[in-house]
Amino acid sequence: MEPVASAKVARTTLSDEERKSLIELYGKSLEGFDKAVVVTSSGALVLSVTFLHDIAPKPPPDSLTTLWLGWIGLVLSLSLMIISMLTGQRALEDALAENKTAVFTTVTTWLNLLSAICLIVGLGGLAYVAQTNVFVNQWPAPALPPPCTGLR
Protein backbone atom coordinates (compact mmCIF):
# COMPACT_ATOMS: atom_id res chain seq x y z
CA MET A 1 0.00 0.00 0.00
CA GLU A 2 2.91 2.33 0.67
CA PRO A 3 4.23 2.55 -2.97
CA VAL A 4 0.81 3.62 -4.23
CA ALA A 5 0.57 6.42 -1.71
CA SER A 6 4.04 7.71 -2.51
CA ALA A 7 3.28 7.58 -6.24
CA LYS A 8 0.28 9.84 -5.69
CA VAL A 9 2.38 12.32 -3.73
CA ALA A 10 5.15 12.33 -6.36
CA ARG A 11 2.70 13.17 -9.13
CA THR A 12 2.57 16.87 -9.88
CA THR A 13 -0.61 18.63 -10.86
CA LEU A 14 -0.87 20.83 -13.90
CA SER A 15 -1.68 24.49 -13.60
CA ASP A 16 -4.74 25.77 -15.43
CA GLU A 17 -2.48 27.43 -17.98
CA GLU A 18 -0.49 24.24 -18.61
CA ARG A 19 -3.68 22.22 -18.93
CA LYS A 20 -5.13 24.72 -21.41
CA SER A 21 -1.92 24.64 -23.46
CA LEU A 22 -1.88 20.82 -23.52
CA ILE A 23 -5.53 20.70 -24.58
CA GLU A 24 -4.78 23.08 -27.46
CA LEU A 25 -1.78 20.96 -28.53
CA TYR A 26 -3.88 17.81 -28.30
CA GLY A 27 -6.56 19.37 -30.51
CA LYS A 28 -3.98 20.44 -33.08
CA SER A 29 -2.47 16.95 -33.02
CA LEU A 30 -5.85 15.32 -33.68
CA GLU A 31 -6.57 17.80 -36.45
CA GLY A 32 -3.20 17.07 -38.05
CA PHE A 33 -3.83 13.33 -37.83
CA ASP A 34 -7.24 13.68 -39.48
CA LYS A 35 -5.80 15.77 -42.30
CA ALA A 36 -2.85 13.45 -42.82
CA VAL A 37 -5.05 10.37 -43.14
CA VAL A 38 -7.55 12.05 -45.48
CA VAL A 39 -4.88 13.60 -47.70
CA THR A 40 -2.77 10.44 -47.83
CA SER A 41 -5.72 8.14 -48.57
CA SER A 42 -7.26 10.32 -51.23
CA GLY A 43 -3.89 11.14 -52.78
CA ALA A 44 -2.96 7.45 -52.94
CA LEU A 45 -6.27 6.64 -54.64
CA VAL A 46 -5.72 9.31 -57.28
CA LEU A 47 -2.09 8.31 -57.75
CA SER A 48 -2.98 4.64 -58.15
CA VAL A 49 -5.57 5.37 -60.83
CA THR A 50 -3.08 7.58 -62.67
CA PHE A 51 -0.43 4.87 -62.33
CA LEU A 52 -2.74 2.27 -63.84
CA HIS A 53 -3.80 4.59 -66.64
CA ASP A 54 -0.36 5.87 -67.65
CA ILE A 55 2.24 3.32 -66.52
CA ALA A 56 0.56 -0.05 -66.17
CA PRO A 57 -2.64 -0.14 -68.22
CA LYS A 58 -2.57 -3.96 -68.33
CA PRO A 59 -1.55 -5.18 -64.88
CA PRO A 60 -0.77 -8.87 -64.41
CA PRO A 61 -3.88 -10.74 -63.28
CA ASP A 62 -2.19 -11.93 -60.09
CA SER A 63 -1.78 -8.32 -58.91
CA LEU A 64 -5.45 -7.38 -59.33
CA THR A 65 -6.51 -8.90 -56.00
CA THR A 66 -3.87 -6.84 -54.21
CA LEU A 67 -4.95 -3.75 -56.14
CA TRP A 68 -8.53 -4.22 -54.96
CA LEU A 69 -7.32 -4.83 -51.40
CA GLY A 70 -5.36 -1.58 -51.57
CA TRP A 71 -8.29 0.38 -52.92
CA ILE A 72 -10.67 -1.09 -50.35
CA GLY A 73 -8.22 -0.23 -47.58
CA LEU A 74 -7.94 3.38 -48.75
CA VAL A 75 -11.69 3.84 -49.22
CA LEU A 76 -12.34 2.31 -45.79
CA SER A 77 -9.71 4.59 -44.29
CA LEU A 78 -11.42 7.66 -45.76
CA SER A 79 -14.86 6.45 -44.72
CA LEU A 80 -13.78 5.67 -41.16
CA MET A 81 -12.09 9.05 -40.85
CA ILE A 82 -15.22 10.89 -41.99
CA ILE A 83 -17.33 8.94 -39.49
CA SER A 84 -14.66 9.65 -36.87
CA MET A 85 -15.00 13.37 -37.49
CA LEU A 86 -18.74 13.13 -36.87
CA THR A 87 -18.35 11.08 -33.69
CA GLY A 88 -15.63 13.49 -32.56
CA GLN A 89 -18.06 16.38 -32.94
CA ARG A 90 -20.61 14.48 -30.89
CA ALA A 91 -17.98 13.78 -28.21
CA LEU A 92 -17.25 17.51 -28.02
CA GLU A 93 -20.98 18.30 -27.77
CA ASP A 94 -21.26 15.80 -24.90
CA ALA A 95 -18.25 17.36 -23.17
CA LEU A 96 -19.70 20.86 -23.53
CA ALA A 97 -23.02 19.63 -22.12
CA GLU A 98 -20.99 18.08 -19.26
CA ASN A 99 -22.27 14.64 -20.15
CA LYS A 100 -19.97 12.28 -18.29
CA THR A 101 -20.34 9.34 -20.67
CA ALA A 102 -17.33 8.89 -22.96
CA VAL A 103 -19.00 6.64 -25.51
CA PHE A 104 -18.38 8.90 -28.49
CA THR A 105 -14.83 9.63 -27.37
CA THR A 106 -14.09 5.91 -27.24
CA VAL A 107 -15.79 5.29 -30.60
CA THR A 108 -13.80 8.15 -32.16
CA THR A 109 -10.54 6.74 -30.82
CA TRP A 110 -11.28 3.29 -32.26
CA LEU A 111 -12.36 4.76 -35.60
CA ASN A 112 -9.09 6.72 -35.81
CA LEU A 113 -7.08 3.59 -35.07
CA LEU A 114 -8.97 1.50 -37.62
CA SER A 115 -8.62 4.26 -40.18
CA ALA A 116 -4.85 4.31 -39.71
CA ILE A 117 -4.68 0.50 -40.03
CA CYS A 118 -6.77 0.57 -43.22
CA LEU A 119 -4.50 3.31 -44.60
CA ILE A 120 -1.41 1.18 -43.98
CA VAL A 121 -3.06 -1.88 -45.56
CA GLY A 122 -4.13 0.21 -48.56
CA LEU A 123 -0.71 1.74 -49.07
CA GLY A 124 0.93 -1.65 -48.71
CA GLY A 125 -1.38 -3.15 -51.32
CA LEU A 126 -0.74 -0.34 -53.77
CA ALA A 127 3.02 -0.50 -53.16
CA TYR A 128 2.95 -4.21 -54.00
CA VAL A 129 0.97 -3.56 -57.17
CA ALA A 130 3.34 -0.78 -58.21
CA GLN A 131 6.37 -2.97 -57.55
CA THR A 132 4.84 -5.87 -59.48
CA ASN A 133 3.93 -3.73 -62.46
CA VAL A 134 7.06 -1.62 -62.67
CA PHE A 135 9.55 -4.47 -62.43
CA VAL A 136 7.59 -7.11 -64.33
CA ASN A 137 9.11 -6.18 -67.70
CA GLN A 138 12.46 -4.86 -66.52
CA TRP A 139 14.46 -8.07 -66.90
CA PRO A 140 14.37 -10.53 -69.76
CA ALA A 141 12.86 -13.91 -69.09
CA PRO A 142 15.48 -16.50 -68.18
CA ALA A 143 16.61 -18.69 -71.02
CA LEU A 144 15.09 -22.13 -70.75
CA PRO A 145 17.15 -25.24 -71.53
CA PRO A 146 16.21 -27.12 -74.69
CA PRO A 147 13.37 -29.56 -74.15
CA CYS A 148 14.30 -33.11 -73.40
CA THR A 149 13.00 -35.39 -76.12
CA GLY A 150 14.30 -38.63 -74.72
CA LEU A 151 16.09 -39.44 -78.00
CA ARG A 152 19.85 -39.69 -78.17
Crossing angle for the helix pair 61-96 and 103-135, to the nearest 10 degrees: 160
Query: Does the predicted model carry a pTM greater than 0.85?
Result: no
Q: Please count the residues of the chain.
A: 152
Residue 54 CA to its chain's centroid (Å): 26
- pLDDT tens digits along 14-33: 788 887 888 788 778 878 88
Q: CA-CA distances (angstroms) from residue 107 to 16, 27, 50, 68, 116? A: 28, 17, 35, 27, 14
- pLDDT tens digits along 106-127: 999 999 999 999 999 999 999 9
Which tops the pLDDT comparison, 147 or 65? 65
Residue 47: is its pLDDT beyond 80? Answer: yes
Span of 14-23, 67-76, 84-93, 140-149 with lowest mean pLDDT = 140-149
